[in-house]
Structure 1
Amino acid sequence: MTEAVPAAAAETGTVRWVTVTGLLGPAEIRELAARLGVMPTKSLGQNFVHDPNTVRRIVRAADLSPDDVVVEVGPGLGSLTLGLLPACAHVYAIEIDPVLAGRLALTAEERAPEHADRLTIMNRDALKLRPEDVGEPSALVANLPYNVAVPVVLHLLAILPSLRHGLVMVQKEVADRLTAAPGSRVYGVPSVKLAWYASARAAGRVPPSVFWPVPNVDSGLVAFAGRQPPAGADRRETFAVIDYAFAQRRKTLRAALAGWAGSAGAAAEILVRAGVDPQARGESLTIEQFAAIAAARLEEAA
């Protein structure tokens, strides 16, 4: 089966059409898994997408250009990989399961032969990926395992500054946290740390029925666009402030940052220099304000 899917044309803002062939449906997913002797495991967070319409939706929402180089984490049996290959210049597929990694190239050759040479497969833990493994990719598009979604996103954004944009599918609760704004009930460490690297937005809900096995929660799409971190800010120190602020999120920053600053009084002094109310709570601060707090302490130390 061959279908055309719209994707953004490079540098023009117009729409081009790419051909998506041989997408995997429910029967193909189960047949391929049975042939490989694969049973999805909770320990690896494996839930395979078996709905071609969802794959087309993800590819469309990823807004890929023909020159994009994509990192895909957890390709599994290849559902999303097959949708990505026609839409970009190259896909680096990072798969921790050796059986699935070993089969993926053949799946691409069988179902998308005209694009199979655009695929590089790595049997590797994404959390151990190094910059030299993938060069300078421009996009991250992935159906991320629920249990490592946030660490994987933050790790890849930290080591791959070339990532300009991306779209990830994660547990809906995680999607809500990643896209939350200051003051939101679910605003927390993932929200603020992602904001260091990128601006993020919710890009839609995905029902459990499109996966095998069927999870007991909805999934959500998170789209992001890379941004420059706050000027003159130190990431390590800023992230330390964030961790302390949310470790005891009910406390005021004066109290929550006492351990980080040395005492509550010292924390209050740093907060005042940063232009932040010591009685405020972490959930009300932007990434720029957290960076300003870190910078105020570093200035004091200097």
Structure 2
Amino acid sequence: MAVLLVQAGSALIDETPPSEPDAAPRLLGPAQIRQLATEVGVRPTKTLGQNFVHDANTVRRIVAASGVGPDDTVLEVGPGLGSLTLALLGTAGKVVAVEIDPILAQRLPSTIGEYAPARRDDFQVILADALQVTRDDLPAVPTALVANLPYNVSVPVLLHLLGLFPEITTALVMVQAEVADRLVAGPGSRTYGVPSVKARYHGRVSRAGAVGRNVFWPEPKVESGLVRIERTDDHPTDPATRQTVFEAIDAAFAQRRKTLRSALAGWAGSPADAERRLRAAGIDPGLRGERLDVDDFVRLARTS
């Protein structure tokens, strides 16, 4: 199988040796995870947010919660040593993984060939930073996003990929529990903020479960949560409109305690212009950003 590795505009081809096909992928456990890490000389780093899942039941639960099936091309971010990747290949039609670590990216095709030989032609890994990846970098357009996102960049990566690929109809991501709370929070909640509103721009957001620390190696110091986003067509997908809406959201929450009339002054041009646009959108200028839902921000962005 030819595996595309993209780095700085170049492509490397890695040929995986043929293996006898298996009925279904075998999943990785703690012993296999440590063995693979030892083989490639990888020590998980906080810089890359690396915490490898070593529990087969956890990855099965993630795949089940994602709802992906044989018609889906799944985009996975940060596949690491391949725990979740193998579980996805047991259900999804194709899996395209984006990995920033060149050592891990180089090893993945061999792992798939060994543990899921019957599915090796349905897997490709891209060596790239998920925050910088473009549509042209991927060999196929994904219909789903399923990932254990690096905790230090989880929200930017999630929003980047949802904006880049409107074809993604569902997303199931594992993030830090605190981040999960922010993503699913509603207007008026203490944890409601920029991530909450921007995630809702793309679809319905809900919690899909919790994940304990003991299923990771190394064990993180925080709990994890699963968040599911089901794409809706309620809001425009064109980048220009989305950017305008997101700029209004950023401005409204930049100084949470200010009224919208004051907080949006820079965005609108002046406090008076902010009040005029807010009233045109049917929004009380005396409110704070935390009281608005995503539909309010979309209406506001459409005023002039």
Instruction: Give the TM-score, by structure 2 length.
Output: 0.89
Deviation at residue 117 of structure 1 after TM alignment: 1.3
1:21 Cα offset (Å): 3.1
Give the letter aligned to residue 279 of structure 1. G
> Which stretches in structure 2 are left out of the alignment for 5+ residues?
1-22
CA distance in 2, matches of 1:228, 1:59: 24
* Shift, 1:260, TM fit: 1.2
Instruction: Say which is worse superposed, 121-130 or 19-28, in terms of deviation.
Output: 19-28
Q: How does 1:3-152 map to 2 (within 5 A)?
A: 20-134=24-138, 135-152=140-157
Shift of 1:228: 1.7
More divergent stretch after superposition (200-209 vs 19-28): 19-28
| Mapped pair 1:272 → 2:272 | no
Q: CA deviation at 1:262?
A: 1.9
For 1:113 and 1:154, the matched residues in 2 are separated by 33
Percent identity of equivalent pairs: 56
Report whether the alignment pairs 1:206 with 2:211: yes
Give unmatched runs, 5+ long, in structure 1: 1-18, 298-302
Amino acid at match of 1:45: G
Measured after TM superposition, the shift of residue 161 of structure 1 is 1.0
SS at match of 1:125: coil
Structure 1 residues 20, 182: closer, same or farther in 2, change over 3 A?
Answer: farther
Write the deviation string for residues 51-107 of structure 1: whole angstroms up to 9, x where unpaired. 111011001111112110000000000000000012111000100000000000000
Match of 2:19 in 1: none
Give the one of 176, 196, 199 matched to 2:201.
196
Corresponding residue to 2:257 among 242, 250, 257: 250
**Offset at 1:133?**
2.4
**Structure 2 residue identity aligned to 1:79:** S
Partner amino acid for 1:184? Answer: S
**Change beyond 3 A, Cα 1:191–1:279:** same
* Contact 2:25-2:89 at 8 Å conserved across structures: no
CA contact (8 A) 1:131 1:160 kept: yes
Structure 2: distance between partners of 1:158 and 1:202: 21
Query: Residue 221 of structure 2 aligns with which residue?
Result: 216
Aligned length: 279
Counterpart amino acid of residue 77 in structure 1? L
Contact 1:20 1:83 in 2 (8 A): no
TM-superposed deviation, 1:132: 2.2
* Aligned equivalents of 1:270, 1:21: Cα separation in 2: 56
Q: Is the 8 A contact 2:279 2:285 kept in 1?
A: yes
Residues in 1 aligned to 2:234 and 2:161: alpha-carbon distance in whole angstroms = 15
State the distance in 1 between where 2:273 and 2:68 align: 48
Structure 1 residues 190 and 59, CA, compared in 2 at 3 Å: closer, same or farther?
Answer: same
What value does the CA root-mean-square deviation take over the aligned residues? Answer: 1.4
Structure 2: distance between partners of 1:262 and 1:151: 27
1:11 corresponds in structure 2 to: none
TM-score after normalising by structure 1: 0.90
Partner of 2:68, secondary structure, is coil
Q: State the Cα distance separating 1:231 from its structure 2 match.
A: 5.8
Quote the offset at 1:229 in angstroms.
Answer: 4.2
Distance 2:182 2:214 in 1: 23
Shift in Å, 1:125: 0.7
SS at match of 2:258: coil
SS of equivalent to 2:207: strand
